[in-house]
Amino acid sequence: MHAEPLEHTWTVLAAELRAAVGDSLFDVWLAPLRVGAFDGTKVVLQAPSETRDWIVERFGRILDASVAASLGPHVIVSVSESDPAGASLPASDEAPRPTPVREQQVNPRYTFDQFVIGASNRFAHAAALAVAENPGTAYNPLYICGPPGVGKTHLLHAIATYLDEHAGGLRIRLTSAEAFANEFIGALQGGGIDAFKARHRDVDILLVDDVQFLMAKARTEEELFHTFNHLRDAGAQIVLTSDRPPRDLAKLEDRLRDRFESGLVAQILPPDLQTRRIVLRKRAALDGIPAPAADVIDAIAHRITVNLRALEGALIRIVAFASLTSRPVDRELADQVLDDLEPRETAADIGSTPTVGEIQQLTCEAFGVTRQELLSSSRAARVAWPRQVAMYLAREHTEASLPTIGAEFGGRGHTTVIHACRRTTERLAADSGLSQTVADLSTRLCTAVPEDRTDRRQ
């Protein structure tokens, strides 16, 4: 069908859906839908990839009922991911079948402007922006690593988007390690290896997501090794992401791991509290959701601490629940919904937020220094680094202000605390061993209840 009839079909169906679910729920979830194909007996709806599964699960019956009411009782409906090129999906006598993903499309929502910068990701963001501004000359390769859901893929897409906007004419290949492997195997079986090599080597920028999936795939690793060498020799930019540093890719060939480490390794840590708050506010603004109250934002940010996707998902779930139950988005509702996602602290944990003094003590034990040394004016490396780590952890795990933290460290000023946090973030991004040590300390602070404070609650 032509675009105009499809738009009319969507207008009719959208009116029925809005009446069925209400304005707020429709605007948040269903407004982005479009009709990709309609042949009189079957309608194919296109949904954003990040919400497609949730829409099918939560609105499947409503879609069926609304289609039957607006387009006819015999019309069936299916929901697919939006076609990135904006073209309508072809109508056929069979339900549409998913096609193998050979290359990722750039997500227009993943831009540098939409990326929330915090202490945990500042270094990686700066490196990615430098590569986008000067591909092939800044850092090559750039290897961005961190746990799932902290923004690695966002930065990868942001680089591609930036280059599309500011460096027209460059040949960009954005793919995932899994897609690279699947396409390579298909090329071997189908006799299209030359075309495969041309697609991945005749480029100016190669962006590969989740390279950890290449481990133990010997032939695919070898192909990426040769592709890597070809591109770097030609001056092309390479950017890779992974859930761990190169040295921890134990099952990867040594020569490929060495290539990954030959450029800049930028690590992203789980987001701090302030970053989580900003992410939630930004996501609400991006989705057109009325700004939640500060206590709602705090409830989510304190309960969902590691994964940004889970953080945003919690906000969406709370807003959706409010719409479905006609309740206000307040702290009571947030706690109710969050209880299903992240159980509340047990009675033994209530009030166990560490104090600055407890953080200092734990840090001293971990690094083998005394509290007197930690608070002293000594600038010796064996004392200065633990002091910076302790200030960083105090900033992360307490609500104390910067001046208050500085005062707890021998009467230092807030600028000293800012410098300590910045310096710690930089070292954590560059050294996975140090990063693990600080991560272990953070885990202990989040789970341990100091004995003296436990006694006082009994």
Q: What's residue 346's pLDDT? A: 40
What is the mean pLDDT of the segment spanning 170-185?
88
> Which of 142-151, 312-321, 444-453 has the least mean pLDDT?
444-453
DSSP assignment of 367-396, as one string?
HT--HHHHHSS---HHHHHHHHHHHHHHHH
What interhelical angle do 381-397 and 414-430 show, nearest 10? 100
pLDDT at 326 over 70: yes
What is the mean pLDDT of the segment spanning 249-258?
85
> Is 84 in a helix, a strand, or coil?
coil
pLDDT at 454 over 70: no
Q: What's residue 227's pLDDT? A: 92
User: Of 315, 321, 310, nearest to 24 (Cα)?
Assistant: 321
Q: What's residue 349's pLDDT? A: 40
CA distances to 374, 417, 434 from 389, rounded to whole Å, are 11, 10, 10
Q: What's residue 2's pLDDT? A: 47
Q: What's residue 455's pLDDT? A: 38
pLDDT at 305 over 90: no
User: Please, what are the domains in the chain?
Assistant: 3-81 (3.30.300.180), 122-267 (3.40.50.300), 273-341 (1.10.8.60), 356-457 (1.10.1750.10)
Q: What contacts 280, CB < 8 A, 6 or more positions away?
A: 292, 297, 300, 301, 311, 312, 315
DSSP assignment of 332-345, as one string?
HHHHHHHHHHSPPP
What is the mean pLDDT of the segment spanning 123-128?
91
Torsion of CA 76, 81, 86, 90, to 10 degrees: -40
What is the mean pLDDT of the segment spanning 126-153?
89
What is the mean pLDDT of the segment spanning 53-70?
81
pLDDT digits (tens, 9 = 90+) for 344-402: 554 334 345 678 888 998 899 889 999 889 999 888 888 999 999 999 888 888 878 88
Q: What's residue 186's pLDDT? A: 87
Q: What's residue 446's pLDDT? A: 63
> Which of 31-35, 306-310, 326-330 has the least mean pLDDT?
306-310
pLDDT digits (tens, 9 = 90+) for 412-425: 888 898 888 888 88
pLDDT at 89 over 70: no
User: Is this structure's pTM higher than 0.85?
Assistant: no
What is the mean pLDDT of the segment spanning 76-82?
86
Q: What's residue 238's pLDDT? A: 94
**C-beta separation of 137 from 105 below 8 A:** no
Average pLDDT across the chain, whole number:
81
pLDDT at 155 over 90: yes
pLDDT at 134 over 60: yes
Q: What's residue 101's pLDDT? A: 30
Q: What's residue 142's pLDDT? A: 94
What is the mean pLDDT of the segment spanning 92-96?
36
The confidence band for 157, taking pLDDT boundaries of 50, 70 and 90, is: very high
> Which of 143-152, 155-164, 297-306, 434-443 has the least mean pLDDT?
434-443
What interhelical angle do 356-367 and 432-447 show, nearest 10? 140
Question: In angstroms, rounded to a whole number, what is the distance separating the alpha carbons of residues 300 and 86?
Answer: 35
